[in-house]
Amino acid sequence: MNQTTRSYGLKQSTNSELSCNSLVFWETLVNPTRLVRALPQIRFQKQLSVPSKARAIMNSKPEQTTSVWMQGDRFSLLSALTQDDEADVCVVGAGIAGMTSAYLLLKEGRTVIVVDDGPIGGGQTERTTAHITNALDDRYMEIERWHGQEGARLAAESHTAAIDRIEEIINSEKIDCDFERLDGYLFTPIGESPNLLEQELQAVRRAGLSQVESILSCPLQNFDTGPCLRFPRQAQFHPRKYLAGLAKAILHMGGRIFTQTHIAKVESGTPARLRTEMGLTITAEAVIVATNSPFNDFVTIHTKQAPYLTYVLAFGVPRGQVTKALYWDTENPYHYVRLQPMPNDVPASAMLGNPLTEELLIVGGEDHKTGQADDAEARYDRLETWARARFPVNEGRRCHWSGQVLETIDGLAFIGRNPLDGPNIFIATGDSGQGMTHGTIAGILLTDLIVGRSNPWSQLYDPARKTLSASDRFLKENLNVAAQYGSWVTGGDVESSEAIAPGTGAVVRQGLTKVAAYRDEHGQLHECSAVCPHLGCIVQWNHNESTWDCPCHGSRFDKKGHLLCGPANTNLVQSTGLPDASVEFKAVSV
């Protein structure tokens, strides 16, 4: 493999140096200001050779927006893989699903390597709102229709167990991550009949959640929601701090975590082999691909789930004026709300508000299929109007961001053996808006499958399942995908690249094909093929994040065509159709 070398100031630690630098890492991950104190411990070296494809990781911020959890700098002080390696289990993806799996497997005495091509938590886990809940997004009525009463019961049981497991891990590892148990409230939009809630309550009770009750209104001073369902013993936390705690525990148990390491290929077999983009090999008895959207399953899974972008705003509200709880309504798309204390460290609180007088109100919603709308500002405006009409919101937006969720056709994640693959290759995907619990269920269930223990949830979450009662949704989503191929024969967004303003992008028709053209702030044009390397849909420009988003299965690329998230696993190619040597392979994730 041809590895060109370049010079950087920050030394990449070698594998043997990992544990020292790793401990520096988890401290700085939680509180970036600690980097200043940590710097002397991080060895610097001039003119160090770093493989070119790994270089985009250095402080790169591929999207425009940052979540409340990302305030301050992002650090990735863990080393990249620099030599072939082996372990009992290799986990690809250091989000909540991968990190929980690694943690629980280490507890079982397995040797584990975690690899991620971005920083830990740098995928959707950093963009979540971290409602930790067993009140399922798709409603128990629907889960019961798709999976039967026993399936709904197992779904309730597994999500409840996931909340408990998160709490157990936090307690036993002493993770300081703002974890709190609190109630969750589900209410209907103004003017809508509460019948839906009554039916949902019956389904919830049949699923075994006997403590859920119907009450007259949510406990909010200025907003009479009307009747709502109260789900007791839900939870919330700070996802980045939680992952930092998991990282620390993983490293203490002897687990190895390599960031800036892109896995190009997973080959099944005994053992399985993972090939990195740099040509290195990891050998493992079992592989977990926890990359949010699996790149190793080309078609099967992606016909059964659909990508949606969702939008979030954070506001300051006077401390103590909004009852701390989780809130959702039943609109389609629904709104989701929670509170978060202001951070205590100065750089972040300076950006977000006054910790003495305010807390953050986080409000999300306005979802649409990825790559099929480009009107984020209107969506943020509607969210703001909705929030101001219901909550005592102070001046200004403190933070805004978007992210992607993967909705399965039958409301539950796909966790288990990858269909049509070797028996030791596992995936976790299709979280919907429930990745905190689904990611934790993945950790529990995949650990059981790998150590050979039976698990009552394995059939429910089996990625190979066929849910005939959800065939209407299957058809709808796949007809929608088929329709996207129509953009091969339409014109471009603009007549020519001359019409593209600095700092923005547009799809331009060039003969028989289409080009994703981005003009940078200096006026220079950067052109790639607009054809998604996954299954050939035409990507769309996203003004809000300055990304190219695929409307078919949710692959996303930064403005210059670098891969951000799958199922594609390579960058957009040059408009000539030849691979672009200047376009590095994915090194930073959404």
Ligand X SMILES: Cc1cc2nc3c(=O)[nH]c(=O)nc-3n(C[C@H](O)[C@H](O)[C@H](O)COP(=O)(O)OP(=O)(O)OC[C@H]3O[C@@H](n4cnc5c(N)ncnc54)[C@H](O)[C@@H]3O)c2cc1C
Cβ 129 to ligand X, closest distance in Å?
4
- From 127, 262, 534, 559, residue interacting with ligand FES (rule: CB under 6 A): 534
Kindly state whether residue 312 participates in binding ligand X, applying the rule CB under 6 A: yes
Cβ 553 to ligand FES, closest distance in Å?
3
DSSP letter string over 256-320? EEE-S--EEEEE-SSSEEEEETTS-EEEEEEEEE-SSS-SS--STGGGSEEEEEEEEEEEEEETT
Cβ 146 to ligand X, closest distance in Å?
19
Around 330, how many Cα atoms within 13 Å sit in the side-chain half-sphere?
A: 25
Residue closer to ligand FES (CB basis): 79 or 569: 569
- Which position has the token pair 């004026």? 321
DSSP letter string over 208-233? T-TT-EEESS-S-SS----SEEEEEE
- Cα–Cα dist 488/222, whole Å: 51
Cβ 436 to ligand X, closest distance in Å?
3
- Cα–Cα dist 146/129, whole Å: 27
Residue closer to ligand FES (CB basis): 461 or 557: 557
550 binds, options ligand FES, ligand X, none, Cβ within 5 to 8 A by partner type: ligand FES
Residue closer to ligand X (CB basis): 244 or 515: 244
- Cα–Cα dist 65/502, whole Å: 19
Q: Are strands 180-187 and 326-329 parallel, antiparallel or unpaired?
A: parallel
> Helices (DSSP H) in 296-420: which residue ranges?
346-352, 376-388
- Cα–Cα dist 336/439, whole Å: 19
- From 241, 553, 560, 562, residue interacting with ligand FES (rule: CB under 6 A): 553
Residue 491 falls in which region: left (phi positive, over 0), alpha (psi -120 to 50) or beta: beta
Cβ 137 to ligand X, closest distance in Å?
9
- Cα–Cα dist 138/408, whole Å: 10
- From 32, 93, 343, 533, residue interacting with ligand X (rule: CB under 6 A): 93
Stretch that binds ligand X, among 316-324, 377-385, 403-411, 473-481 (CB under 6 A): 403-411
Instruction: Answer yes or no: are the C-beta atoms of 293 and 92 closer than 8 Å.
Output: no
Cβ 347 to ligand X, closest distance in Å?
23
Please enumerate in sequence order all residues whose Cβ is within 8 A of that of 572, keeping only pairs 6 or more positions apart, or say none.
516, 528, 529, 530, 531, 532, 533, 539, 548, 557, 561, 563, 583
Stretch that binds ligand FES, among 35-43, 123-131, 253-261, 533-541 (CB under 6 A): 533-541
- Cα–Cα dist 375/382, whole Å: 11
Residue closer to ligand FES (CB basis): 161 or 264: 264
Residue closer to ligand FES (CB basis): 100 or 305: 305
- From 21, 330, 571, 589, residue interacting with ligand X (rule: CB under 6 A): 589
Stretch that binds ligand FES, among 152-160, 212-220, 236-244, 553-561 (CB under 6 A): 553-561
Retrieve residue 239's tokens. Answer: 């996802």
Size of the site for ligand FES (CB under 6 A): 12
Please enumerate in sequence order all residues whose Cβ is within 8 A of that of 202, keeping only pairs 6 or more positions apart, or say none.
none
With residue 448 as reference, give the H or E element that holds it. helix 435-451
Binding mask 127-146 for ligand X (x = CB under 6 A): xxxxx---------------
Retrieve residue 355's tokens. Answer: 């910790």
Around 202, how many Cα atoms within 13 Å sit in the side-chain half-sphere?
A: 7
- From 197, 567, 583, 586, residue interacting with ligand FES (rule: CB under 6 A): 567
Interaction residues for ligand X, span 348-367 (CB under 6 A): 364
Kindly state whether residue 532 participates in binding ligand FES, applying the rule CB under 6 A: yes
Cβ 141 to ligand X, closest distance in Å?
20
Residue closer to ligand X (CB basis): 416 or 492: 416
- From 29, 278, 436, 444, residue interacting with ligand X (rule: CB under 6 A): 436
Residue 45: how many CB atoms within 10 A of its CB? 12
**Closest residue to ligand X, based on beta-carbon distance:** 435
Q: How many angstroms separate the Cα of 31 from the Cα of each of 343, 354, 489?
A: 10, 18, 50
Kindly state whether residue 93 participates in binding ligand FES, applying the rule CB under 6 A: no
544 binds, options ligand FES, ligand X, none, Cβ within 5 to 8 A by partner type: none
Stretch that binds ligand FES, among 29-37, 125-133, 257-265, 527-535 (CB under 6 A): 527-535
117 binds, options ligand FES, ligand X, none, Cβ within 5 to 8 A by partner type: ligand X
Binding residues for ligand X (CB under 6 A) = 92-98, 115-118, 122-125, 127-131, 262-263, 290-292, 295, 310, 312, 336, 364, 403-405, 428, 431, 433-437, 439, 566, 569, 589
Binding residues for ligand FES (CB under 6 A) = 532, 534-537, 550, 552-555, 567-568
